[in-house]
Amino acid sequence: MRFALALRGSKVVAMTTTSPVARPLIDGFGRRVSYLRISVTDRCDFRCVYCMAEDMTFLPKRDVLSFEEIEALAGAFIARGTTKIRLTGGEPLVRRDIMQLVTALGRRIGNGLEELTLTTNGSQLAKYAVQLQAAGVRRLNVSLDTLDAERFRAITRRGRIEDVMAGIEAAQAAGLAIKINMVAMRGVNDDEIEPMMAWAHGRGMGLTLIEGMPLGEVDIDRADSYLPLRELHERLARRYTLTRLDTRTGGPARYVHVAETGGTLGFITPMSHNFCESCNRVRLTATGQLFLCLGQDDQVNLRDAWREGGAAGLDAALDHAMRIKPKGHDFVVDRSGREPAVARHMSVTGG
């Protein structure tokens, strides 16, 4: 048994890693895929301006994978060495009977799976926090881009910040570690970076800043709102003592410790400095399409592979997926190209 460091809120703890598997998922560039993000629905109760259009057309429910199918696909990944699964959406907690799936996947923790987590907008957390903890979830990412109620409503187009705050409080009371994800947007919320950091760290939560990405047609002007996090890092470093951490949580964030607040600050920089050389993740959509890169359209239909070929067909499809996984993405935001880099909205693959 081996040990690795992981982030729990703003604390670094030790966690065990499993023994080597017979046929790990290794792509053509030697990168081992150990992290699966599963979008359980493309639906959401918010319409965040950088994620969705105002009027969205969602998948017919008949096209969405059943929980049994999701569990079968997840099991195939676990058998091939995937140790971390994150449930996303849309908003995962709006899917009916979602706890059936969370509970089923939670039973696999300690049997190949090391961690089951969620990314959520927090609107339903007050309802589900205790159940999530009981099912084996130990930490959550909560997407929150502002602390101002009116600005929150403008960004989400329909959300209530009071619901999110109640959800965060319930999650912490249930013993769940929380990390706040904040999309940094120039002229939208860049004046709130420091207040958000002070608020999150003051409540024992980490904060990760994310650059906006050109996915799908949305109403926000991406060229105007794009804020390189390198610029933001330099701004913060003039006021705060930032010490680089080697902490990894399985995703693309790079972390620093902020001496003045005692908390952890993460940076996800798909635009200004991509993290493709260490990519260890793939994304499964609610219809069973496996996207091999957030910024590319390469995909494999795992739903058909499973339905038509069973376990053997699924295993062969995973081998094919590793052969075609691209080296990386090439996101660009400028006024020379009006079309998004990728046509699908963020809600399809869950970020």
Residue 327 assigned ligand-binding role: no
Residue 103 assigned ligand-binding role: no
C-alpha dihedral sign at 202, 184, 149, 119 = negative
- Angstrom distances, CA of residue 351 to CA of 15, 39, 236, 245, 288: 25, 9, 25, 24, 16
Residue 293 assigned ligand-binding role: yes
Residue 281 assigned ligand-binding role: yes
Residue 86 assigned ligand-binding role: yes
What is the three-state SS of the chain?
A: CEEEEEEECCEEEEEEECCCCCCCCECCCCCECCEEEEECCCCCCCCCCCCCCCCCCCCCHHHCCCHHHHHHHHHHHHHCCCCEEEEECCCHHHCCCHHHHHHHHHCCECCCECEEEEEECCCCHHHHHHHHHHCCCCEEEEECCCCCHHHHHHHHCCCCHHHHHHHHHHHHHCCCEEEEEEEEECCCCHHHHHHHHHHHHHCCCEEEEEECCCECCCCCCHHHHECCHHHHHHHHHCCCCEEECCCCCCCCCEEEEECCCCEEEEEECCCCCCCHHHCCEEEECCCCEEECCCCCCCEEEHHHHHHHHHHHHHHHHHHHHHHHCCCCCCCCCCCCCCCCCECCCHHHHCC
Q: Which two tokens stand for residue 56?
A: 């969205």
Residue 159 assigned ligand-binding role: no
Residue 186 assigned ligand-binding role: no
Residue 19 assigned ligand-binding role: no
Residue 335 assigned ligand-binding role: no
Residue 37 assigned ligand-binding role: yes
Residue 143 assigned ligand-binding role: yes
Longest dimension (CA), the chain: 58
Residue 206 assigned ligand-binding role: no
Residue 179 assigned ligand-binding role: yes
Residue 279 assigned ligand-binding role: yes
Residue 52 assigned ligand-binding role: no
**Which amino acids are annotated as binding site, given as ranges?**
37, 44, 48, 50-51, 86, 90, 119, 143, 179, 213, 276, 279, 281-283, 293
Residues annotated in the binding site for S-adenosyl-L-methionine, as ranges?
Answer: 50, 90, 143, 213
- Annotated binding-site residue numbers for GTP: 37, 86, 119, 179, 281-283
